[in-house]
Structure 1
Amino acid sequence: MQRDYTLSCLLTMPRHELEEFSQRILTRMVPEDVMEELFTFEPEETETEDRLRSAQFDAMLRMSAIALGEVSSAFADSDQANQNTERMSRLLLWHFYAVAFQLEAAVTLEQHCEAVEKILVTPPKDAFGWIKTLTELLHHYASLNDNGDAQAH
């Protein structure tokens, strides 16, 4: 059985395997020179902790968007292009959620997977579309977390 990176798959896979494979795919989708450019900050971006964090946040968002924007062309010639594109998009979105932004304390994996499946019905076609989608996803996660905090009190 091929891994599809849906909720049931993510729950049964060892975390280190998910991290290693998603990192390999990310590295394959985003060339090293682009990665270097994304994570090279101007002096004013590193003046304070908040500015540095903001620059890093932006770089991780762009890195994820670039990778997701490249997935469909990277797998276009494969035997099952649509299925492979969807699988790798799920994996990269898991990386975005769990590794890049470490959102597991704020949003459950179930909530993340539910949001991913909605996105994958009509996914963005390029990095610019993914930037908008990922930004909206982060806003969605913030509202889920705010509602969770409100319900806990």
Structure 2
Amino acid sequence: MQRDYTLNCLLTMPRHELEEFSQRILSRMVPEEVMEELFTFEPEETQTADRLRSAQFDAMLRMSAIALGEVSAAFADSAQATQNTERMTRLLLWHFYAIAFQLEAAVTLEQHCEAVENILPNAPKDTFGWIKTLTDLLHHYASLNDNQQDNASSSL
């Protein structure tokens, strides 16, 4: 049985395997020269820690959007194109959540997987669509985290 990268799979799969495989898929979807361009910053982007962090976040968002935008084309000729596309989209969205933006302290894996399953039925087909979707997802995660913080402080 193939791994589907849904919540149960992510909970049972060793973390190092998820990290390694998601990195391999990401590297396959985003060529090295594109990575170098994304993560090469102008001098004004590195003048302060805040500006550098902002440039790094933007680069990670774009890297994720590029990779996700390439998934459909990469698996279009496979025997189970739709299933493979969804699986790899879930995996890359896990990478976005857990590795690129390290959101595990802010949003539970359950919340992340629920958001992913809501995205999949109408997933964007290109990088520009994914940039908007990922930006919206980050805003959604910020809202979830704010609500969790409010609930935690009101229960004190």
**Shorter-normalised TM range:** over 0.9
Structure 2: tracts of 5 or more residues without a match: none
- Other-structure match for 2:56: 56
State the 1:20 CA deviation: 0.1
State the 1:89 CA deviation: 0.2
TM-score, with normalisation over the residues of structure 2? 0.98
CA RMSD of aligned residues (A): 0.2
Matched residue SS, 2:104:
coil
1:78 has 2:74 as partner: no
Q: How many angstroms apart in 2 are the aligned matches of 1:55 and 1:93? A: 20
State the 1:135 CA deviation: 0.1
**Aligned length, in residue pairs:** 153
Q: How many angstroms apart in 2 are the aligned matches of 1:127 and 1:116? A: 17
1:110 has 2:117 as partner: no
Q: How many angstroms apart in 2 are the aligned matches of 1:47 and 1:132? A: 27
TM-score, with normalisation over the residues of structure 1? 1.00
Q: How many angstroms apart in 2 are the aligned matches of 1:121 and 1:75? A: 17
Large movers: runs of 4+ above 4 Å = none
State the 1:8 CA deviation: 0.2
Query: How high is the sequence identity, in percent, across the aligned residues?
Result: 86
Q: How many angstroms apart in 2 are the aligned matches of 1:132 and 1:77? A: 27
State the 1:37 CA deviation: 0.2
Matched residue SS, 2:79:
coil
The 5 A counterparts of 1:81-92 are 81-92=81-92
- Other-structure match for 1:121: 121
1:139 has 2:139 as partner: yes
